[in-house]
Chain A
Amino acid sequence: NAGVMQNPRHLVRRRGQEARLRCSPMKGHSHVYWYRQLPEEGLKFMVYLQKENIIDESGMPKERFSAEFPKEGPSILRIQQVVRGDSAAYFCASSPGAPQETQYFGPGTRLLVL
């Protein structure tokens, strides 16, 4: 199955810990997007990356959140010093490369902060 892969699927952290979410795009896709879905809310764009480049991070909170997509390996969304308000489903999507192309979503990581 060459779909978008995310791990872990569920992640529990205590307040103040770090959360690392990983995303491997579909085979042949070079563009990765991260979205967050807070409980009972809609999907919100966070960041758009290509290999070794952040293209658009206009949806990222100013502090504690960072993302990367290295030359080798998966894209990482990192949340430092997590707070309860970070509890949400984090979805990664990928697209082949051209603008306007369809984005395909991974299964998501459900983050719970205790």
Chain B
Amino acid sequence: QKEVEQNSGPLSVPEGAIASLNCTYSDRVSQSFFWYRQYSGKSPELIMSIYSNGDKEDGRFTAQLNKASQYVSLLIRDSQPSDSATYLCAVNPQAAGNKLTFGGGTRVLVKP
């Protein structure tokens, strides 16, 4: 079992719709969770961090965390063509120090 799992996609979403991305992780002691966006040929760019169960909203983005289910998700509202990218879920397990474990990423394609 991979430590951090994501559906590779592509997730095709019409412009203006909601994109829903999911991520599961295996290490129960994980304490902090991050979503990064990576355009092709570019570096990861932080979208959101979340540490507590529940929802966290920032503009068009909402992260949801459920530690009991070992599940973290990202919603992108009013999707735009510029949101077309690969979205990386990253987990920082407290017991393992300060390194990030990344999922394989979900490719999102927003169609005009």
Contacts and interface: CB of A to CB of B under 8 A. Distances in A.
B94 to A, nearest CB: 7
B49 A102 contact: yes
Interface residues of B, number: 24
Contacts of A85: none
A58 B101 CA distance: 12
B69 interface: no
A25 interface: no
A56 B99 contact: yes
B98 A48 contact: yes
Contact of B105 (A42, A44, A108): A42
Nearest to A47: B99
Interface size class of A (residues with CB under 8 A): 20 to 34
Contacts of A101: 98
B99 A33 contact: yes
A67 B105 CA distance: 27
B29 interface: no
A33 B49 CA distance: 18
B46 A100 contact: no
Given A42-B88, A43-B88, A100-B31, A48 B105 contact: no
Interface of B: 31-32, 34, 36, 42-46, 49, 51, 88, 90, 92, 94, 97-105
18 contacts: A33-B99, A33-B100, A41-B104, A42-B104, A43-B100, A43-B102, A45-B99, A45-B100, A48-B97, A56-B97, A99-B94, A99-B97, A100-B94, A102-B34, A102-B46, A103-B100, A108-B42, A108-B43
